[in-house]
A and B are shown apart, each in its own frame.
Chain A
Amino acid sequence: MAEERQRWGTNIGIVLAVAGSAVGLGNFLRFPGQAAANGGGAFMIPYFISLILIGIPLIWVEWTAGRYGGGFGHSSAPGILQVLWKKNPLIKYLGVAGIFGPFLIYMYYVYIESWCLAYAYYSITGQLSNITTSQGFVNFLSIYQGVDSSGTFSGTLPGFIFFLITFLLNVTVIYYGIRGGIEKLCTIAMPLLLLFGAVLVVRVITLFAPDPLHPDWSSINGLGFLWNPDFSALKSARVWLAAAGQIFFTLSVGMGVILTYASYLKKKDDVALSGLAAGATNEFAEVIIGGSIVIPAAFIFFGPNDIIGIAESGVFNLGFVTMPQIFDKLPIGALFGFLWFFMLFMAGITSSISIAQPSVAFLEDEYGMKRQKAVRIFAIASFILCQPAIWFIHRGVLDDLDFWGANFFIVLGATLEIILLAWVFGMDKAWKELHDGARLRVPRIFKFIIKFITPTFLLAILGYWFATDWWGVITMEGVADENVPYVLGTRLLLVGMLILLAILVRIAWQRHKRRENNQRSIS
């Protein structure tokens, strides 16, 4: 028999938990690189338009659908989609995407999160300050990942130990449940994360122009590199797609995570204002904190000529190679390095616990398991499935998992959710549901946006992908020959997982049916 349904303790608790899910490494590392490479301040025009036309509507759709599904005792996508479209027995199978997608991201995200914990440790113990050159930091990261077997560390052992610590922390938080684990962690970690971020922003901005030989290499000009608008960029479809992609990536919409979190709300709990607050918190962390640390700091120490290459060097390079070099040049840089990496770690753990919860909720709700047993099963399965990303990172496994989990499945999931809620469940009913217990009257224009504009936008993104990229992705274009067996193996594993999840959904609903028949025959 299932335990009594879990609930959030406070409204601020779920807002911080959803915000924690959304605020991740991408807020501090991906956003500034994207903005700098796509028109600077002008990037914010398609960014805010995408936020209004895609991000905020999807936030409200997921919060509304999640709370509704939770009212029927379902906290994961198969059950929630099934109550939205009761007459279609197949729709629950499409809901598998809402468990598979987050689980897939979990398979590599916890490992990356553990790098942040490791680097926080290496910063505060002074081990990073022994490195003096840019290549030294590149080598340090490679050796830590086990890509290169010579140098400071041996193989992946330290990396694996930090992974184990991070993994156990995640499992422990999930073990204590929604109120005792997730909500408790997020109400401590989120304010702390924002505080650490604010300290780092103040430190970077108040550096002004520390090098008298280069008075132009200042924090204000660094901000200018990110914010000076280049309106010609707005003519490029690539820039608009990058902005839409960033909104998707940053808000955790389409994954099934918000569905699960919102399902633990009560029927009359607000979703309109809470959803908006979680989105606003994410934007604060991304635009104000994320936009004011990496790029201005790199501009101050590397100058206008190198900054373009740095901004386009990718998330890992920015976070784990460029930033440690900058902290190395600061007084008490070890402390600031620790604040930076521990901030990233907190952003990571508040996200990873959220992507674990849909799987645990599925076992609890659809198989009637106690939470502790569901967490144990999840822990064993995810520990095994995290291994390919750790041991074959240099073989393109992590990149492939990232493409399917953090790109393809979230767009697919979001398209499915919004069409189901707005067109199958019915927009009038959905609008009423959104306003049930709401502390905010959503402008009526959003009824039109949710029904017509957002689905069109999403279908256009999916269509564009199928028209331009899908064949290259399927045929592994650009994957080095020696990596093909590893990437292929990863994809076969993913197909196997999808089939297994579909079978688990089928068995669960057969059990539901048997139980209902038994109850009918008894009564």
Chain B
Amino acid sequence: MTVGGWIFILLSWGVILSLLTYCYVRILSKDADNETDGSAELYPKVD
């Protein structure tokens, strides 16, 4: 594999793994203390 190949693979993997970690850490921390109760909060009905 060329140096260019290594740069592209590391950059692509790095961006995706960073984004994935950021999203899941925030979502899991929210889910842990705030499970939805299944009740609905609807918008006002408009004809």
Chain A positions near chain B (C-beta within 8 angstroms) = 4-5, 7-12, 15, 40-42, 44, 48, 68, 71-73, 83, 86, 179, 220-221, 223-224, 227-229, 266-270, 273-274, 276-277, 280-281, 283-284, 287-288, 439-440, 516
Contacts and interface: CB of A to CB of B under 8 A. Distances in A.
Interface string B17-35: 1011001101110110011
A267 B26 CA distance: 19
18 contacts: A4-B40, A10-B35, A11-B30, A40-B8, A41-B4, A41-B7, A41-B12, A42-B8, A72-B42, A72-B45, A227-B8, A229-B5, A273-B27, A284-B17, A284-B20, A287-B16, A288-B13, A439-B30
B5 A223 contact: yes
A439 B30 CA distance: 9
Contacts of A71: 42-43
Given A266-B41, A267-B43, A274-B27, A224 B1 contact: yes
A267 B38 contact: no
A281 B20 contact: yes
Interface size class of B (residues with CB under 8 A): 35 or more
Contacts of B6: 227
Contact of A439 (B11, B15, B26): B26
The residue in B11, B28, B34, B36 that gathers the most chain A C-beta atoms within 10 A of its C-beta is B36
A269 B8 CA distance: 36
A48 B14 CA distance: 13
Contacts of A280: 16, 19-20, 23
A218 to B, nearest CB: 9
Nearest to B20: A280
Main secondary structure of the interface of A (DSSP, over half): helix
Contacts of A10: 31, 35-36
A220 B1 contact: yes
A284 B16 contact: yes
A73 B42 contact: yes
Given A9-B35, A224-B1, A284-B17, A277 B24 contact: yes
A9 B30 CA distance: 13
B46 A9 contact: no
Given A86-B46, A227-B1, A277-B23, A7 B40 contact: yes
A269 B36 CA distance: 9
A440 B41 CA distance: 21
Nearest to A11: B31
Contacts of B11: 44
A276 B19 CA distance: 9
Given A273-B23, A277-B24, A281-B20, A41 B5 contact: yes
Nearest to B34: A11
Nearest to B2: A228
A41 B20 contact: no
B19 A267 contact: no
Contacts of A277: 20, 23-24, 27
Contacts of A15: 27
Given A9-B38, A267-B42, A280-B20, A223 B1 contact: yes
Contacts of A284: 16-17, 20
B16 A288 contact: yes
A228 B5 contact: yes
Contacts of A9: 35-36, 38
